[in-house]
Amino acid sequence: AQSVTQLDSHVSVSEGTPVLLRCNYSSSYSPSLFWYVQHPNKGLQLLLKYTSAATLVKGINGFEAEFKKSETSFHLTKPSAHMSDAAEYFCVVSGPRGTGSARQLTFGSGTQLTVLP
């Protein structure tokens, strides 16, 4: 069984300040973890993924996330927010690796990021 909890449904930051979106997971296996972003009226876009290599994962648009097994966390960060970062962000945990295909992806409930001018 697997689950993912996004600790904040809404986060507001000022442009140019750091972003922190929190995610905790629970999994019976060594998980693969993803962060997706969804801009208004757009589909999901993959930001970054963790699949057991380096614990600090760098993604697109300056985002990165750190896998911390001891804390079962996979928080998303960015040093300096931009107006274009305003969107909804989903933390996702997938089934066991090595299956060849994802049988089930479990999405968090999402965090709405607002960037203030």
Partner 1 sequence: EADIYQTPRYLVIGTGKKITLECSQTMGHDKMYWYQQDPGMELHLIHYSYGVNSTEKGDLSSESTVSRIRTEHFPLTLESARPSHTSQYLCASSRGVLAGGTQETQYFGPGTRLLVL
Return residues touching partner 1 (CB under 8 A): 3-5, 9, 34, 41-46, 49, 100-110
Q: Which is nearer to partner 1, 10 or 68 (CB)?
A: 10
> From the CB of 23, what's the least distance to partner 1, in Å?
11
> From the CB of 101, what's the least distance to partner 1, in Å?
5
What's the gap between Cα 29 and its chain centre?
Answer: 19
Contact (Cβ atoms closer than 8 angstroms) between residue 18 and residue 113:
no
Q: Which is nearer to partner 1, 13 or 25 (CB)?
A: 25
> From the CB of 43, what's the least distance to partner 1, in Å?
4
* Paired sense of beta strands 44-50 and 56-58, if any: unpaired
Tell me the C-alpha distance between 11 and 83, whole Å: 13
Six token digits for residue 74: 């996979």
